């Protein structure tokens, strides 16, 4: 009798007692992906020049964007006072590719070849209309500074798989165009240890990593031993466990002095690697180099690797500029998919490609037969995802004939975040951190998993 009562009670209460934090890397449910590589295309690539095929625009070239399409929606201050909004069809050709028949423009021949591995989401949309709030929203789920970035949420929720490397690494490439900010990989109100570590392409890959010139390695070792010894003496007197933690951190720092250079040293990569990623991959600071580093980081268990390629902000002279951007990113993006697949890592690695918003169907500035520019467009844009629990070879969502409004299946950024977390085995409503009296989430009070994208 007594046992039964207890059981009744236990089950009544057991279901109430949910854990909100993931302890020891335990996920809420079985994950499909263990890691994420996010190929962020900063500046906002034009969806209708790359993926969102809109043949109707060809016929309407030069005509004003109909009011029935614009629907009085707000525009940025850069074009709001334009006298006309002439429609600018892409000058690039589109073909269907693979068994899935995905539309990809001729700008991205390599991506086109792996189209069957990719899941295109055509209907992402955002609230922000300018770069800083938009990219901050993308990274943190909120337009203003102060919240943790998605990588630091994962670092907090899942921890690291490799104790000699950070759980979250950011890599930047490209010059010019929109600037980037440390907050994009920052930890917001989460403890600083969850922030992304930016690996730099010049100088030390990790700040202060290398020993000063002239210091022999054995002396550094001896010096670190002294630090440990003297810290132990202090520990004996004060019994403060922080001292033990510090000793351990110094050891990890020392191991990073080996593990990081080993990671960034590509000299042992075979020639075929560079056939795959392109010769650019030999040059530090290029997107291709970063794609290769992303694979190496992923292999070593780094939880979240995020690339930021700058230079997609094409207000004017879009055709030559996007051609250049496509050229420096296409091969390596596709190579990464191929490479992960060949190594058997794609199934457990979620790869996401995309920018912070889309671009307008109408021309910013003067429209000619060969030249046009496009302003910011938050109402719809395309990203692609691959691997790690995502259904390959599909296109999700539809935009209207102008790639201006969403016709079917909108996906907001909170939904993307929820879906990404879901692939990693995390219920986005339960990954929380209490701050200022509130249980904060990456998805704030929004977000739902986009089930059709999942395997």
Partner 1 sequence: MHRLIQTILAYVALHWVMAAHGKTVDYGRDIHPILSDTCFACHGPDAEKRKADLRLDTKAGVLSLVKPGNPWDSELFHRITTQDEDDRMPPSKSASQLTDKQVKVLGQWIAEGAEWKGHWAFQKVVRPEVPCGEKHPVDAFIGKRLEAEGLGFSEPADRRILARRLWLDLTGLPPDPAGLQEFLQDPDIAQTAAKLLDSDAYAEHMTARWLDMARYADTSGYQSDGWRTMWPWRDWVIAAYRQNMPFDQFTIEQLAGDLLPNPTLRQRIATGFNRNHRGNSEGGIIPEEFAMEYVADRVETTFAVWQGVTMGCARCHSHKYDPLTQKEYYQLYSFFNRLPEYGRALKEGNSMPWIKAPTKEDSRKLAYLQKAERKAISNFRKLTKDLPIPRVAIPDGWKIQDGLVPNDSPKTRFGYFDSFTLSAKVNYEEGQTGTILSRMVPVEQGTGYYLELTNGGNVQFNLVKRWLDDSIRIITSRPVPSGSNITATYDGTRKASSIRVYVDGKEVPIRVILDYLNQSFDSEEPLRIGAGQSDFPGKVSDVAVYNRVLEPEEVLALSGDSQERNRQYFLRVSGPEKVRQAFAESVATRRERAIFYNQIPSVMVMEDSVDRPAYILGRGQYDNQFERVYPGFPASLTTQDYKPQNRLDLAKWLVSSENPLTARVTINRIWRDIFGIGLVKTAEDFGVQGERPSHPELLDWLAAEFMDSGWNLHHMLQLIVTSRTYQQSSKTTPELLQLDPENRLLARAPRFRLPAGIIRDQALAVSDLLNRKVGGPSVKPYQPDGLWGELASDANYQLAQGPDLYRRSLYTFWKRTVPPPMMMNFDSAGRETCEVTTRRTNTPLQALNLLNDVTFLETARVLAEKVVAKPGFQTDRAFELILQRKPGTQEATRIQESLAMYRKSFDEAAAKAFIQQGQSPANPKLPPVEVAAWTLVCSTLLNLDEAVTKE
- How big, in percent rounded to 5, are the helix, strand and coil portions of the chain? 40, 15, 45
Q: Which is nearer to partner 1, 59 or 222 (CB)?
A: 222
Which one of 58, 234, 343, 408 is in contact with partner 1 (CB under 8 A)?
Answer: 234
Among 287, 295, 278, smallest CA distance to 311 is for 287
Using the 8-state DSSP alphabet, how is residue 281 labeled? G
Kindly write out the interface string for residues 139-178 of this chain, putting x where it contacts partner 1 by CB under 8 A and - elsewhere: -----xxx-------------------------x--xxxx
**What token pair was written down for 7?**
């059981």
Q: Is 221 in the site for partner 1 (CB under 8 A)?
A: no
**Of 26-34, 86-94, 327-335, 434-442, which part binds partner 1 (CB under 8 A)?**
434-442
Binding mask 239-278 for partner 1 (x = CB under 8 A): xxxxx-xxx-xx-xx--xx---------------------
**202 contacts partner 1 (rule: CB under 8 A):** yes
* Minimal distance, residue 140 CB to partner 1, in Å: 11
Tell me how far CA of residue 219 lies from CA of 211, 214, 222, 224, 225, in angstroms: 11, 10, 5, 8, 10
Q: Would you count residue 369 as binding partner 1 (CB under 8 A)?
A: no
CB neighbour class for 9 (10 Å; exposed up to 12, middle 13-18, buried from 19): exposed
Quickly list DSSP for 237-252.
HH--HHHHHHHHHHHH
Q: What is the DSSP letter of 282?
A: G
Binding mask of the shown chain, residues 285 to 314, with x at each position contacting partner 1 by CB under 8 A: ------------------------------
Sign of the Cα torsion 52, 54, 60, 66 reads: negative
CB of 130 to partner 1, least distance (A): 5
How many angstroms separate the Cα of 35 from the Cα of each of 134, 263, 441?
Answer: 24, 17, 19
- Residue 317 is a binding residue for partner 1 (CB under 8 A): no
Residue 157 to residue 421: CA distance in whole angstroms: 10
Binding partner 1 (rule: CB under 8 A), the pick from 289, 314, 376, 414 is 376
Per CB under 8 A, the segment of 9-17, 327-335, 384-392, 406-414 that binds partner 1 is: 9-17
Smallest distance from partner 1 to CB 342, Å: 32
Interaction pattern, residues 48-87, with partner 1; x per rule: CB under 8 A:
--------------------------x-xxxxxxx-----
Binding track, positions 389-428, relative to partner 1; x by CB under 8 A: ----------------------------------------
Contacting partner 1 within 22-41 (CB under 8 A): none
Which of 141, 143, 133 has the alpha carbon at shortest distance from 76?
Answer: 133
Identify which range of 55-63, 231-239, 386-394, 417-425 contacts partner 1 by CB under 8 A: 231-239
Give, as one character, the DSSP assignment of residue 236: H
Identify residues 102-141 at the interface with partner 1 (CB under 8 A).
Answer: 129-133
Q: Which of 157, 159, 136, 133 is nearest to 147 (CA)?
A: 136
How many residues contact partner 1, by CB under 8 A? Answer: 99
Cβ proximity of 227 and 250 under 8 Å? yes
To partner 1, the closest distance from the beta carbon of 85 in angstroms equals 13
Question: In whole angstroms, how close is the CB of 360 to partner 1 at the nearest point?
Answer: 11
**Relative orientation angle of helices 287-299 and 241-264, to the nearest 10 degrees:** 130
């Amino acid at each position: 009798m007594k046992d039964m009562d207890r059981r009744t009670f236990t089950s009544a209460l057991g279901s109430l007692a949910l854990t909100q934090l993931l302890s020891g890397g335990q996920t809420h449910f079985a994950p499909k992906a263990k890691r994420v590589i996010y190929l962020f295309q900063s500046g906002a690539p034009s969806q209708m020049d790359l993926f969102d095929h809109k043949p109707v625009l060809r016929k309407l070239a030069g005509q004003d964007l109909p009011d029935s399409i614009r629907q009085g929606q707000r525009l940025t201050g850069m074009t709001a006072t334009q006298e006309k909004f002439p429609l600018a069809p892409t000058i690039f050709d589109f073909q269907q590719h693979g068994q899935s028949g995905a539309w990809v423009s001729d700008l991205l021949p390599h991506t086109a070849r792996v189209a069957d591995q990719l899941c295109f989401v055509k209907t992402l949309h955002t609230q922000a209309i300018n770069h800083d709030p938009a990219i901050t929203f993308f990274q943190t789920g909120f337009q203003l500074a102060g919240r943790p970035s998605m990588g630091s949420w994962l670092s907090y929720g899942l921890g690291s798989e490799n104790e000699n490397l950070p759980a979250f690494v950011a890599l930047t490439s490209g010059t010019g165009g929109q600037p980037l900010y440390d907050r994009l990989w920052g930890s917001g109100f989460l403890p600083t240890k969850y922030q992304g570590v930016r690996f730099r392409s010049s100088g030390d890959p990790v700040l202060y990593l290398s020993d000063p010139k002239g210091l022999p390695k054995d002396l550094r070792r001896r010096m670190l031993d002294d630090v440990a010894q003297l810290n132990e003496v202090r520990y004996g007197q004060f019994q403060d466990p922080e001292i033990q933690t510090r000793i351990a951190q110094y050891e990890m720092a020392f191991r990073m002095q080996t593990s990081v250079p080993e990671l960034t040293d590509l000299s042992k990569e075979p020639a075929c690697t560079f056939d795959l990623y392109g010769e650019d991959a030999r040059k530090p600071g290029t997107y291709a180099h970063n794609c290769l580093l992303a694979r190496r980081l992923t292999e070593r268990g780094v939880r979240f690797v995020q690339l930021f390629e700058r230079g997609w902000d094409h207000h004017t002279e879009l055709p030559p500029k996007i051609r250049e951007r496509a050229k420096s990113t296409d091969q390596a993006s596709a190579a990464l998919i191929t490479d992960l697949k060949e190594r058997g890592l794609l199934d457990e690695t979620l790869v996401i490609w995309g920018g912070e918003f889309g671009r307008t169907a109408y021309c910013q500035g003067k429209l000619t037969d060969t030249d046009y520019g496009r302003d910011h467009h938050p109402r719809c844009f395309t990203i692609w995802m691959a691997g790690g629990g995502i259904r390959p070879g599909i296109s999700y969502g539809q935009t209207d004939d102008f790639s201006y409004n969403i016709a079917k299946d909108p996906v907001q950024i909170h939904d993307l975040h929820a879906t990404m977390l879901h692939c990693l085995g995390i219920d986005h409503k339960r990954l929380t951190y209490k701050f200022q009296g509130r249980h904060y989430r990456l998805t704030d009070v929004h977000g739902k998993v986009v089930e059709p994208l999942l395997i």
